[in-house]
A and B are shown apart, each in its own frame.
Chain A
Amino acid sequence: MRYLPQTENARIQMLKSIGAGNVDDLYVDIPKVAMIDGLADLPNHKSELEVERALGVMAAKNMTASDAPFFLGAGTYYHHIPAAVDHIIQRSEFLTAYTPYQPEIAQGTLQAIFEYQTFIAQLTGQDVANASLYDGSTALAEAALMAMRITKRKNIVIGTKLHPHYADVLKSYIGNIDGAEITQGALDDKTACVIVQSPDFYGCPHKYEKWRKECDEAGALLVVVTNEVISLGMLEAPSLADIVCGEGQSIGMAMSYGGPHLGFFACKQKYLRQMPGRLCGMTEDADGKRGFVLTLSTREQHIRREKATSNICTNQGLCALAFTIHMSLLGEDGFKNLARLNHEAACRLADALSEVKGVRIINDNFFNEFVIELPKPASIVVEDLATCGIIGGYALDGNHMLVCATEMTTQDDIEELVNILSEIL
Chain B
Amino acid sequence: MSLVENRRLHYEENLLWEKEHSEHSGVDFPQLENIASRTGVDMRGDIGLPQLSEPQVVRHFVRMSTWNYSIDHGFFPLGSCTMKHNPRMNEKMARLNGFANIHPLQLETTSQGALELMYELQNWLGELTGLSGVCLAPSAGAHGELAGMMTIKHAHEKLGNAHKKIILAPDSSHGTNPATAVMCGFEVRVIPTKDTGRLSVEAFKEALYRTDDKGADIAGMMVTNPNTCGLFESNILELSELLHEAGGYFYCDGANFNAIVGKARPADFGVDVMHINLHKTFSTPHGGGGPGSGPICCTQELAQYMPVPVVVQNDDLSYSLESEDDRPATLGRLKAFQGQFGVYVRALSYMMSMGADGLKQVSEDAVLNANYILSQLSNDYHVPYDGYCMHECLLTDKKQKEQGVATLDIAKALVEYGYHPMTVYFPLVLAGTMLIEPTETESKDALDRFIVTMKNIAVDVKNGDCDKFHSFPQSSPRKRLDEVKAARNPVLRWTD
A-B contact pairs, 9 of them (CB 8 A): A18-B371, A34-B269, A39-B262, A205-B40, A255-B103, A293-B483, A319-B290, A331-B51, A365-B39
Shortest distance in angstroms between A247's beta carbon and chain B's nearest beta carbon?
A: 8
CA distance A298 to B484 in the complex (A): 12
With A257-B338, A306-B181, A325-B61: A333-B25 Cβ-Cβ less than 8 Å = yes
**Chain B residue at smallest Cβ distance from A127:** B493
When A305-B178, A347-B35 are in contact, do A6 and B365 touch as well, CB less than 8 Å? yes
Q: A residues 317-339 with Cβ under 8 Å of B?
A: 317-321, 325, 327-339
Interface string of A249-264 (1 = CB under 8 A from B): 0000011111111000
- Whether the Cβ atoms of B290 and A315 lie closer than 8 Å is yes
Which among B98, B179, B338 is the interface contact of A64 at CB below 8 angstroms? Answer: B98
Q: Interface stretch among B143-151, B209-217, B457-465?
A: B143-151
Q: Are A43 and B44 in contact (CB under 8 A)?
A: no
Question: Given that A5-B443, A304-B179 are known contacts, is A168 also in contact with B62, CB under 8 Å in the complex?
Answer: no
Contact with A along B463-496 (1 / 0, CB 8 A): 0000000010100111111110111001111100
The answer for the CA separation of A293 and B16 in the assembled complex, in Å, is 18
A293 to B: closest C-beta gap in Å? 5
Q: Are B340 and A107 in contact (CB under 8 A)?
A: no
Pair B286/A305 contact, Cβ less than 8 Å:
no
Closest partner residue, chain B, to A383 (CB atom): B107
Q: In whole Å, how far is B484's beta carbon from the nearest beta carbon of chain A?
A: 9
In Å, the complex CA distance between A135 and B483 comes to 29
CA distance A36 to B361 in the complex (A): 13
A319–B291 CB distance below 8 A? yes
Residue A178 is within 8 A (CB to CB) of chain B in the complex: yes
Q: A168, A237, A254, A257: which contacts B332 (Cβ < 8 A)? A: A168
Contact with A along B45-81 (1 / 0, CB 8 A): 1111111101001101110111111111100101001
**Given that A311-B179, A328-B16 are known contacts, is A236 also in contact with B44, CB under 8 Å in the complex?**
yes
> What are the residues of chain B within 8 A of A41 when measuring CB–CB?
127, 356
Looking at B86, B184, B286, which has the most chain A CB atoms within 10 Å of its CB?
Answer: B286
**Contact status A3-B353, CB under 8 Å:** yes
Query: Which of B22, B355, B415 sits near A45, CB closer than 8 Å?
Result: B355
Chain A residues with CB below 8 A from B145, complex form? 311
Given contacts A104-B480, A128-B493, contact A3 B283 (CB under 8 A): yes
Expressed in whole angstroms, the Cα–Cα distance for A92 and B25 within the complex equals 27
Asked if A4 meets B361 with Cβ closer than 8 Å, knowing A105-B420, A286-B479, A317-B289, the reply is yes
A15 at the interface (CB under 8 A from B): yes
Least CB distance from B417 to A in Å reads: 12
Cα A61 to Cα B49 in complex, Å, equals 41
User: Which 9 pairs between the two chains have the least Cβ-Cβ distance?
Assistant: A258-B337, A59-B98, A318-B287, A258-B104, A61-B113, A365-B40, A331-B51, A334-B25, A329-B26
B67, A107: Cβ atoms under 8 Å? yes
* Set of chain A residues within 8 Å of B13, measured between Cβ atoms: 111
Q: Does A232 contact B (CB under 8 A)?
A: yes
Task: Select the stretch in A76-84, A150-158, A184-192, A212-220 that faces chain B.
Answer: A76-84
| Neighbouring B residues of A412 by C-beta, 8 Å | none
- B352-378: CB near A (< 8 Å → 1, else 0) gives 111111111110110111011011100
Q: In the bound complex, do residue B493 and residue A104 qualify as a contact, i.e. CB atoms below 8 Å apart?
A: no
CA distance A60 to B102 in the complex (A): 11
Known contacts A40-B128, A90-B91, A235-B39; decide if A306 and B103 are in contact (CB<8 Å): no
Q: How far is the CB of A154 from chain B (nearest CB, A)?
A: 13
Residues of B within 8 A of A329 (CB): 25-27, 52, 54, 57
Could you tell me the distance between the alpha carbons of A305 and B221 in the complex, rounded to whole angstroms? 16
Contact call A317/B411, Cβ cutoff below 8 A: no
Given contacts A1-B361, A46-B355, contact A84 B57 (CB under 8 A): yes
Q: How far is the CB of A343 from chain B (nearest CB, A)?
A: 7
Complexed CA–CA distance, A26 and B71 (Å): 26
Is B343 in contact with chain A by the CB < 8 A criterion? yes
Q: Does A20 contact B (CB under 8 A)?
A: yes
- Determine the chain B residues whose CB is within 8 A of the CB of A211 once the complex forms: none
A20 touches B94 (CB 8 A): no
Check A102 against B41 for contact (C-beta < 8 Å).
no
B285 near A318 (CB under 8 angstroms)?
Answer: yes
Residues of B within 8 A of A98 (CB): 71, 76, 78, 81, 83, 286, 288-289, 420
Q: How far is the CA of A326 from the CA of B335 in the complex (A)?
A: 25
Known contacts A43-B355, A258-B339, A259-B139; A7/B444 CB under 8 A: yes
Cα–Cα, bound, A55→B121 (Å): 12
Which residues of A (1-18) have their CB < 8 Å from a CB of B?
A: 1-7, 10-11, 13-15, 17-18
A285-B478 contact in complex given A6-B365, A29-B387, A59-B97, C-beta closer than 8 Å = yes
CB of B49 within 8 A of CB of A313, answer no
Whether a CB of chain B sits under 8 angstroms from the CB of A397 is no
State whether B353 touches A281 (Cβ < 8 A). no
Q: What residue of chain B has the Cβ atom nearest to residue A66's Cβ? A: B101
Instruction: Flag if A14 contacts B368 (CB, 8 Å).
Output: yes
Q: A206 interface residue, CB < 8 Å from B?
A: yes
CB distance from A385 to the nearest CB of B (A): 9
In the bound complex, residues from chain B placing their C-beta under 8 Å from that of A423 are none
A55 B345 Cβ-Cβ under 8 A: yes
Closest B-chain residue to A123, C-beta based? B47
- Indicate which residue in B150, B442, B482 contacts A5 across the interface (CB closer than 8 Å): B442
User: What residues of B have a CB within 8 angstroms of the CB of A88 in the complex?
Assistant: 58, 61-62, 65
The smallest beta-carbon distance between A349 and chain B, in angstroms, is: 12
Asked if A134 meets B44 with Cβ closer than 8 Å, knowing A48-B89, A289-B478, A334-B29, the reply is: no
